[in-house]
Structure 1
């Protein structure tokens, strides 16, 4: 039995378990609401871990440890920004969005919510927001496929092309079969696996390098500036890393978790669980990359794969330091991170295509059964496009994620925040915010740059566009304001 056989068996058992969960969810899926939002029946624990797992993709176990391994603690600003952004998203948006979507046509998707919230009879908000979701999520899905392919490639010695399909197949299977319930239930299992891996691995790496004192001494010997949070940093650079936190307000796959909660009263408990999980996972990911510096400087003969691609630091440490059976479980955590996020993104794309194009424009009278099967077909379509986009083996996970994250954060973030907190917002303001946010990200990324993360100018200009255009022309109708007030009162009563 080769060293990779236990890992292969572990992977197969893990994937089979996820697909089995998908089959159980299939039996519970009766209509499109079940398929897209789990019938709004998700409790606080599943809401919390599902939101965390869907957020933290392969980037958590590959991109972040790799960045810290390369540059030291100065890369930790991303983690700080994410923690602040996620907390504010739970605090300001989660509960309000849960009640607002229910009071605005029981909306199942963000485009559906925007259309009902702003009484958009032209349906231009629905079309544009669904297009933003499809464009940026297809890029985001591609990042998940790349991370999965890297894992299978390095673990089993597959070619990149074979690994692409192997890594994506299982996720496509359970998302296709079970929809939102399958995605949420599997996310909970996957979040548990991720936190186990990210707490255990840095502890074992530290022990392998001689304990805390020896580990820190080795890191300092390699390069004392690894401890410097401001190494090579400019004010603009630190702000750009922290600005990742702004992205939370506009991520459809995270916002869908808030919309699916069984009650607004579940949100505070979910926030506490989710933030604890997130802080431990991000701390663990930074520690894996940081302690990896000490391990590979002490064992330079083993550092080849990590030198070639730093994003493999967690993979290599797992294979080198653990029994193959335990390593298989730890590496399944990467697969869990990839699958949990990819499945959510596939489902949101499928929801946009089914609810916001097919049902809205092509088949208004379609049966629930037909819509569920169209949704499943759209999962396959988006997955194939994402795999084709990921087919370039030079792709880096963090680069793909940062572009999509900024696109959503700028296009939807200001619109979502102001839509749940300001009743004076109008349809024209929402549309202007989306267009300005999305266009700014694309133009800034490709033509301007200046070392500033594109989400910053995108978010600022989108917010200004909403404020300006909401005051031009007719204000919000009385019925819009009444619905807003009723939903806000329900939210405030739940907080009492």
Structure 2
């Protein structure tokens, strides 16, 4: 199905709007701190929605509905695990990380934070963590490029090769120009668009079938297993799906939002906003895939595209059921999801290369202007590598995301969590946790033992490594303990009277 003129116009206006925001942010970007973390100036609303939008990539509107469409409601265990993981991450990590990064040399990046937090004079932590970011984020970026290419391919009738470049171009442009502020402001717009699309679409699908009862009856008639939460799942499979929630503790693009909040006190309000947004979006995505089963069962003559690739279920429903102008807005939501996450990932990769490798090892005296331009150049470089990785038309969004998500969750998750919760943690513990977590994911993914999602053993073994190597080695220095205790006391301090307490 190719796009009509209204859909083309809608897409064009949306993309121009995002680029315009990029130019506004460019005028507010004075130095590298602004380019990477927006000068730590995000309020609770922008923090909440940008964290949500940067998390929920094209996977939300393509991967998850596609999985539900194929396997039924049993795939929603992923959504349950993600919701629980996100809440715990907001509750335990968000505010603490905001305080601890500022207390440790005003760290702008995770490698920067690890180096300061653990007084790593050797800078091995910086190198290892920067390399982990580059490896797994390049794969993650590729998933965003694939999702964008699928959207442009099916909407505009482009070849996959052309769609790769068309889908990535706008994201690269506004990230290149505006940096973190552009990414955060556009994320807020994009999060609003995503929740609109994910609430409206399943409602219209249900009405098109004849109501909720009729929809459920059609789904059951096709296969009663579609409404079984335990369909084909053993305990290990459920644990694997729920285990996705562990990934939140280690995702640099989400953690960067916490670091950029204007105060750790605003995190309380941001958490409430973000969790409401997330629950509604995940429920909507599950509903799109679930009720899509009923729609295409009733209209098998329209099901060729989704039978070929289930990840197109949202795209096909939007085009079939809505006026072209509305369809254009809904499909822009996929582009919003792709652009919001891809832009964050490009920026984190850029900051890892610029702050943690270029400035740290090559140009310690580099000016702020030089660092901003090196950061922009690295955005382009990483984007080109991601496009190259995404060039295989057989790539699936969910598969690419699951590997990168596990890599970050296991390599960084335990390190971040312990670093803000446990004063006795040491440099060797952090290094052991990071390496053991990352290697476990790579090896477990290759062998597929027990049918268990690789993030779970990676997180467990990484945590054990942190505790063992911290306790067996030299205790933290007095300065390290004082910084930790001061940051911890600040985190627990009473908020200003203008802010509601938690």
* Runs (5+) with no aligned partner, structure 2: 496-500
Residue 155 of structure 1: aligned partner: 155
The answer (yes or no) to whether the contact 2:251–2:405 under 8 Å persists in 1 is yes
Deviation at 1:473, TM superposition (A): 2.2
Deviation at 1:5, TM superposition (A): 1.4
Residue 498 of structure 2: aligned partner: none
Give the secondary structure class of the aligned counterpart of 2:265.
helix
TM-score, scaled to structure 1: 0.99
Residue 85 of structure 2: aligned partner: 85
Residue 64 of structure 1: aligned partner: 64
The answer (yes or no) to whether the contact 1:264–1:494 under 8 Å persists in 2 is no
The answer (yes or no) to whether the contact 1:48–1:270 under 8 Å persists in 2 is yes
Deviation at 1:450, TM superposition (A): 2.4
| Residues in 2 aligned to 1:360 and 1:172: alpha-carbon distance in whole angstroms | 25
The answer (yes or no) to whether the contact 2:6–2:324 under 8 Å persists in 1 is yes
Residue 369 of structure 1: aligned partner: 369
Residues 52-88 of structure 1: per-residue CA shift (max 9 Å, x gap) = 0000000000000000000110000000000000000
Query: Do structure 1's residue 277 and structure 2's residue 277 form an aligned pair?
Result: yes
Residue 355 of structure 1: aligned partner: 355
Matches within 5 A, 1:240-389: 240-389=240-389
Deviates more, 1:376-385 or 1:439-448: 439-448
| Residues in 2 aligned to 1:6 and 1:442: alpha-carbon distance in whole angstroms | 45
Residue 224 of structure 1: aligned partner: 224
Matches within 5 A, 1:416-435: 416-435=416-435
Deviation at 1:447, TM superposition (A): 2.3
Residue 201 of structure 2: aligned partner: 201
Residue 452 of structure 1: aligned partner: 452
| Residues in 1 aligned to 2:483 and 2:283: alpha-carbon distance in whole angstroms | 42
Deviation at 1:471, TM superposition (A): 1.0
| Residues in 1 aligned to 2:418 and 2:94: alpha-carbon distance in whole angstroms | 13
| Residues in 2 aligned to 1:3 and 1:179: alpha-carbon distance in whole angstroms | 31
Residues 253-272 of structure 1: per-residue CA shift (max 9 Å, x gap) = 00000000000110000000
Deviation at 1:6, TM superposition (A): 1.0
The answer (yes or no) to whether the contact 2:250–2:408 under 8 Å persists in 1 is yes
Give the secondary structure class of the aligned counterpart of 1:471.
helix
Deviation at 1:469, TM superposition (A): 0.1
Residue 98 of structure 1: aligned partner: 98
| Residues in 1 aligned to 2:120 and 2:212: alpha-carbon distance in whole angstroms | 59
Residues 206-263 of structure 1: per-residue CA shift (max 9 Å, x gap) = 0000011111111111111111000000000000000000000000000000000000
Residues 148-203 of structure 1: per-residue CA shift (max 9 Å, x gap) = 00000000110000000000000000000000000000000000000000000000
Give the secondary structure class of the aligned counterpart of 1:39.
coil
The answer (yes or no) to whether the contact 2:3–2:155 under 8 Å persists in 1 is no
Residues 261-299 of structure 1: per-residue CA shift (max 9 Å, x gap) = 000110000000000000000000000000000000000
| Residues in 2 aligned to 1:245 and 1:95: alpha-carbon distance in whole angstroms | 19
Residue 472 of structure 2: aligned partner: 472
TM-score, scaled to structure 2: 0.98
| Residues in 2 aligned to 1:462 and 1:107: alpha-carbon distance in whole angstroms | 23
| Residues in 2 aligned to 1:43 and 1:266: alpha-carbon distance in whole angstroms | 7
| Residues in 2 aligned to 1:467 and 1:473: alpha-carbon distance in whole angstroms | 10
Deviation at 1:3, TM superposition (A): 5.2
The answer (yes or no) to whether the contact 2:3–2:157 under 8 Å persists in 1 is no
| Residues in 2 aligned to 1:124 and 1:30: alpha-carbon distance in whole angstroms | 30
* Runs (5+) with no aligned partner, structure 1: none
Matches within 5 A, 1:121-140: 121-140=121-140
Give every structure 1 segment of 4 or more consecutive aligned residues whose post-TM-superposition deviation is greater than 3 Å. Answer: none
* Count of matched residue positions in the alignment of Structure 1 and Structure 2: 495
The answer (yes or no) to whether the contact 2:3–2:156 under 8 Å persists in 1 is no
The answer (yes or no) to whether the contact 1:4–1:324 under 8 Å persists in 2 is yes
| Residues in 2 aligned to 1:262 and 1:154: alpha-carbon distance in whole angstroms | 41
Residue 112 of structure 1: aligned partner: 112
Residue 48 of structure 1: aligned partner: 48
The answer (yes or no) to whether the contact 2:136–2:407 under 8 Å persists in 1 is yes
| Residues in 2 aligned to 1:4 and 1:450: alpha-carbon distance in whole angstroms | 48
